[in-house]
Amino acid sequence: MNIFEQNESAIRSYCRSFPVVFKQAKGAELVGRDDERYIDFLAGAGTLNYGHNNPVLKQALIKYIESDGLTHGLDMHTDAKESFLEVFKRIILEPRGMGDCVVQFTGPTGSNSVEAALKLARKVKGRRNIISFTNGFHGVTTGALACTGNQHHRGAAGVTLGDVTRMPFDGYMGDKMNTLAYMDKLLSDPSSGIDHPAAVIVETVQGEGGLNVASADWMRRLERLCRKHDMLLIVDDIQAGCGRTGSFFSFEEMGIKPDMVTLSKSLSGYGLPLAVLVLRKELDQWEPGEHNGTFRGNNHAFITATAAIESFWSDTRFAQEVQRKAKLVRERLQSIVQRQGPNSLRVKGRGLMIGIECPDGDLAASVCSRAFARNLVIETSGAHSQVVKCLCPLTITDEQLNSALDILEGAFAGAMAEQIETAAS
């Protein structure tokens, strides 16, 4: 028995799917202790959009550490935080018409920025209820967990998860039903039994929920519904943001203006913990320190986040590259579906948040373990863990992308063949 099995809590999960000890990582590649190399299609569940140990970010961090820059700073003013705020405002917020927003540094996890958003929405509107959507994932601390759909996670809460009303996400009831018409009807009826919500929290692409995509039209209607019923619109862009769908925010092309946006995962760009809540200035009704936290000043993360924004978002080249690669991956996945299971498999997702839905979780698990046997790290998502999810670093080379997709195609072929054999025997 190794030290992990002996001494690490049973809570460990990803390591069970990928039972090797890693020692190094660079770009889209992981290296095992036995020098075995793996292509990383998990990328820290979307935390490593710019790859492992990105050299530009690493140099900036080394320089900062060598000069004895602050590591921890509570929420004190530091050079590093100043540069981050300036660069984020100039390169991200202002060009996107969000120059009037302020940035709240929350505790360093995505869940904590969701907690902050929910608390502030409830405080500003003086109401308790929040609307979240079927299959949504917003984190596992109590407030965020109440908005999360996943039963496995909800079951661990140990307390009542309340003050949230679930509505059907885009497409949840099939193509023919407009889920927002249903929601509008419920909110317009004073006796529907739904307490007037303070806010709606939504992902534009449900990362953990199975790569369900909200259409631009649905998001625009949702925004209108929020205005009509005086609810705040919170977009949880923790996984879909930071370039994953081909633009910095996942909703940029939709022409909507959320009241609050949560960001974390790839925000630091280096895998360092960092989370923020971006909010319209007039909603910033916090008293000083009302939602505090010891690790709101991770200055190393400010340094790498600043370097990431400067090097990837100063012009449109990186976004165009992501869009080009997304097209390439989509085409390859579509051809896998055509060849391996045109009647049972389906491509899902948007941008480089894309994958293949299987009829069941067993097939998806078999695909992932076959892929791992050929050195591709890839995971599933979805209500039944039925979606094989490609979440490669956005900086991956075409060569790596193609070899990973070759492995994936082989894994699908093997898993489908096995399924047919099992059914026949």
Ligand X SMILES: *Cc1c(COP(=O)(O)O)cnc(C)c1O
| Candidate residues 49, 78, 106, 109; the one interacting with ligand X per rule CB under 6 A | 109
- By the rule CB under 6 A, 239 interacts with ligand X: yes
- By the rule CB under 6 A, 258 interacts with ligand X: no
Measured torsion, CA atoms of residues 330, 331, 337, 340, in degrees rounded to the nearest 10: -130
Q: How many residues bind ligand X (CB under 6 A)?
A: 15
Choose the stretch contacting ligand X; rule: CB under 6 A; options: 6-14, 110-118, 324-332, 416-424: 110-118
Q: Which is nearer to ligand X, 29 or 208 (CB)?
A: 208
Looking at beta carbons, which pairs linking 412-420 to residues 24 or more positions away fall under 8 Å? Answer: 412/336, 412/340, 412/341, 412/345, 412/356, 412/367, 413/339, 413/340, 414/366, 414/370, 415/363, 415/366, 415/367, 415/370, 416/340, 416/341, 416/363, 418/366, 419/363, 419/366
| Candidate residues 28, 57, 114, 415; the one interacting with ligand X per rule CB under 6 A | 114
Q: Which is nearer to ligand X, 268 or 419 (CB)?
A: 268
- By the rule CB under 6 A, 264 interacts with ligand X: yes
The residue written with tokens 């989509």 in the block is 330
| Candidate residues 139, 271, 293, 382; the one interacting with ligand X per rule CB under 6 A | 139
Binding mask 308-347 for ligand X (x = CB under 6 A): ----------------------------------------
- By the rule CB under 6 A, 238 interacts with ligand X: yes
Choose the stretch contacting ligand X; rule: CB under 6 A; options: 89-97, 235-243, 325-333, 335-343: 235-243
| Candidate residues 125, 138, 244, 389; the one interacting with ligand X per rule CB under 6 A | 138
Could you write out the DSSP letters of every residue in 372-404?
HHTTEE-EEESTTS-EEEE---TT--HHHHHHH
Choose the stretch contacting ligand X; rule: CB under 6 A; options: 131-139, 217-225, 246-254, 287-295: 131-139
Q: Which is nearer to ligand X, 207 or 243 (CB)?
A: 207
Chain residues 194-233 in contact with ligand X, contact rule CB under 6 A:
203, 207-208
Q: Which two tokens stand for residue 147?
A: 């908005």
Distance separating alpha carbons of residues 384 and 371, to the nearest angstrom: 19
Helical residues (DSSP H) of 209-355, grouped into ranges: 216-228, 299-313, 317-340
- By the rule CB under 6 A, 386 interacts with ligand X: no
Q: Which two tokens stand for residue 83?
A: 């540069």
Distance separating alpha carbons of residues 393 and 46, to the nearest angstrom: 8
- By the rule CB under 6 A, 379 interacts with ligand X: no
| Candidate residues 49, 54, 78, 111; the one interacting with ligand X per rule CB under 6 A | 111
- By the rule CB under 6 A, 236 interacts with ligand X: yes
Render the burial of 234-246: b for 16+ CB within 10 Å, e for the rest. bbbbbbbbbbbbb
Could you tell me the sign of the dihedral formed by the alpha carbons of 142, 133, 245, 371, in that order?
positive
- Residues at the interface with ligand X (CB under 6 A): 109-111, 114, 137-139, 203, 207-208, 236, 238-239, 264-265
